[in-house]
Amino acid sequence: MSQPAFTAHVLDTTRGVPAENISVSVSKINHSNTTLAQEQLATAITNANGRVSQWNVPLEEVESGIYKFRFDTGPYYDSLSMETFYPYVELTVNINKGQHYHIPLLLSPFGFTTYRGS
């Protein structure tokens, strides 16, 4: 099996634990001078360690461009009976063909931090 193009890791910084069962989707943004379209490539759920390690998007199939990662955080906080300011978090990033990208998300009900991981 080839290396995945993308992986992600979500940590709940308020509770100090991995954020399990968060739906995460990845889409390619296609735009021209007059239109903006999104092509959803895959959806996955974070595991018990808060990780998405396989999206079934092989590295060799990913083209350079702009991609969006959407983390559906609302249902996660609903399951904990907690309010959140962010029903979802969308991260839009530049991707270069042939590179692996790890997307960490440090999450709390009223804030988040992200960076390009390794």
Contact 25, 39 (CB under 8 A): no
Could you tell me which residues come within 8 angstroms of residue 61 by beta carbon, excluding any fewer than 6 positions away?
Answer: 5
Rounded CA separation 42/7 (Å): 12
67: enclosing H helix or E strand: strand 65-72
Contact 22, 73 (CB under 8 A): yes
Say whether 15 counts as a known binding-site residue.
no
Rounded CA separation 21/30 (Å): 29
Say whether 116 counts as a known binding-site residue.
no
Say whether 101 counts as a known binding-site residue.
no
| Residue ranges at the known binding site for substrate | 9, 51, 115
| Residue ranges at the known binding site | 9, 51, 115
